[in-house]
Chain A
Amino acid sequence: MTEHHQHHIKLPEGSIEKQTTTLNMGPTHPATHGVFQNIMELDGERIVSAEQTVGYIHRAFEKLAERRPLNQVTPITDRLNYCSSPINNIGWHLTCEKLLNVQTPKRVDYLRVIIMELARIADHLICNSIMGVDTGAYTGFMYIMQYRELIYEIYEEVCGSRLTTNIGRIGGFERDFSNTAFTKLEKFLKEYPAALRELENLFTRNRIFMDRTIGAGPISAERALNYGFTGPNLRAAGVDYDVRVHTPYSSYEDFDFKVPVGTTGDSYDRFLVRNGEMWESLSIINQAYQKVQGFKGTDADVYHADVPEYYLPKKEDVYTKMEALIWHFKIVMGEVEMPKGEVYSAVEGGNGELGFYLISDGGRTPFRLHFRRPSFIYYQAYSELVVGGMLSDAIVVMSSLNLIAGELDA
């Protein structure tokens, strides 16, 4: 290289003397499973500091919601944690129902519990099998995918779509579960335990997996609480806080289930807690399905509450009854005034406490809607979790936190 060329290479000030390396992980890196960037300062392979950048897929949901009637906000919530959309949808319906003082029938609650627990399984099985992928075991992920497919087929039977579900309505469901839905549910309940056991056999006592995850990104219970952790990540640190138990919604008080907790709050414990939760979810679904089968007579056909102002009437009623026609028109055109009030309502989402803070000024759309997104809140702890560890740990820690970019950025 000539003198002339060397002269043109401009290195940043102080870069020759610098002892550490700056590494950008993301925004589009195969190991981030979503769009977020980490700017890491590395000393060899050890992380000296890390800074997260978020917001790449921010879609202004809170602003959009201020111009939409309640039922049109539901599709927005799909796109928060898109691995478990039904929990977001039903969490939103529960918030609206709290504001409107709607009592849902027991059968609706149980059907909702079935769907929400299926969504939790779909969410956790992705997270846990992705952890396998990030530690070098692809097989489990490919294998378990067919059970998520089965879950998605059940969604499809109930609401017609798979990923962004827009499932249910204020007051209940848009239609009753078909027989096919129940058949598919039975198939899932019969086949999934064996597959889950195999997934456990593949990872839980796997030497490589244990070495990669034990001690990776631990957090104490105090720090986790201070950081606002909720869900499996908090429970892995040993705090048994679960919204389903503390503030039961949708009749969760009728079910018998355990809350798995960990001790060290590291990636391995987060894996174990999610695994334990899948077993509990299976048990809850079984109980709920039994309860649903227990309804007799007209109770067995109930799938929504009586809320004419918000629940679309049957099409044949729209054609034959004046009242139904009026409500149909008002709901579709978004012309229903809601009561004034302030509500905070939370559900146990796939990642923790998913809260909805809704302020209504008595208009047709929310005056203000704020989503408490668990991923957004606990991702700020990421730098504390990975600093001092190896770069390869940072990747495992990220997948064990189950970060969902959609939820992060709202």
Chain B
Amino acid sequence: MALTNEHVQQRLSEKFGTVVSNFEEPYGMLSFEVEKDQNLKVLQFLHDEADLGFQFLTDLCAVNYPDQVGRELAVVYHLHNLKDNLRIRFKVFAPVAQPDVFTATKLYSAANWMERETYDFFGVNFVGHPNLKRILNVDEMDYFPLRKEFPLEDQTRIDKDDQMFGRG
């Protein structure tokens, strides 16, 4: 029997109760939310259970929602069961003031650089990561550039001195 979204949702709800919530199926992909401190337990469960078998970490990234007070940063996991060919996604929300999330590196070697990238751009502190340092940006950078508080330059700004840019 092929694995279905309903089965995954049922197994998770049975095991974790209210720790997993907000089940949705946007564009057919089962998406849900996991309490911050339980992310590793849920990952382990999804990885180890024979009937679930989400052993492939497709993607790990973060999203910044500046308007959600106390849950400004979301870490997003995309998992894939290659045998039954089912993808799922879940989010873990953390406050921007103390963005501590447990690392998935023990479970997935692939998570190592993905978490470093997420740290680099959003400042998510992956607790237990073996080498949590910047990866794409320079080591000296002292901010997390993909957070929404750092807007791209206003394209209509007029306070630039043209001479400095070889114009005018």
Contacts and interface: CB of A to CB of B under 8 A. Distances in A.
Interface of A: 54-55, 58, 60, 62-64, 66-67, 98-99, 223, 225-228, 239, 241, 246-247, 341-344, 346, 353, 355, 357, 359, 367-368, 370, 372, 376-377, 379-381, 409-410
Contacts of B138: 55
Given A228-B57, A239-B82, A380-B109, 11 more contacts: A55-B136, A55-B137, A55-B138, A58-B136, A62-B121, A228-B110, A228-B114, A241-B82, A341-B26, A343-B26, A368-B64
Contacts of B102: none
Contacts of A376: 113, 117
A357 B146 contact: no
Interface in B11-67: 26-27, 29, 31, 55-59, 61, 63-64
Contacts of B27: 98-99, 341-343
B110 A380 contact: yes
B78 A225 contact: no
B10 interface: no
A227 B29 contact: no
Q: Which 8 A-B pairs have the closest CB atoms?
A: A228-B110, A55-B136, A58-B136, A370-B61, A380-B113, A372-B59, A226-B109, A227-B109
Contacts of B57: 228
25 contacts: A55-B135, A58-B136, A60-B145, A63-B145, A98-B27, A226-B108, A226-B109, A228-B57, A239-B82, A247-B85, A342-B89, A344-B58, A344-B59, A346-B58, A355-B58, A355-B78, A357-B78, A368-B64, A370-B61, A370-B76, A372-B78, A376-B113, A376-B117, A379-B113, A380-B109
B9 interface: no
Interface of B: 26-27, 29, 31, 55-59, 61, 63-64, 76, 78, 82, 85, 87, 89, 108-110, 112-114, 117, 121, 134-138, 145-146, 152, 155
A344 B76 CA distance: 11
B112 A344 contact: no
Given A60-B145, A377-B114, A370 B137 contact: no
Contacts of A341: 26-27
Contacts of A409: 136
B58 A54 contact: no
Contacts of B137: 55, 58
A370 B145 contact: no
Given A54-B135, A54-B136, A377-B114, A357 B109 contact: no
A58 B31 CA distance: 30
B92 to A, nearest CB: 15
Contacts of A55: 134-138
A63 B152 contact: yes
A344 B89 contact: yes
Interface centre among A241, A346, A380 (most CB of B within 10 A): A380
B89 A66 contact: no
Nearest to A60: B145
A60 B138 CA distance: 13
Contacts of A342: 26-27, 31, 89
Contacts of B108: 226, 228
Q: By CB atoms of chain B within 10 A, which of A67, A228, A239, A346 has the most?
A: A228
A348 to B, nearest CB: 13
A220 B65 CA distance: 40
The listed residue with most A CB atoms (<10 A of its CB), out of B31, B134, B145, B146, is B146
B109 A223 contact: yes
Contacts of B134: 55
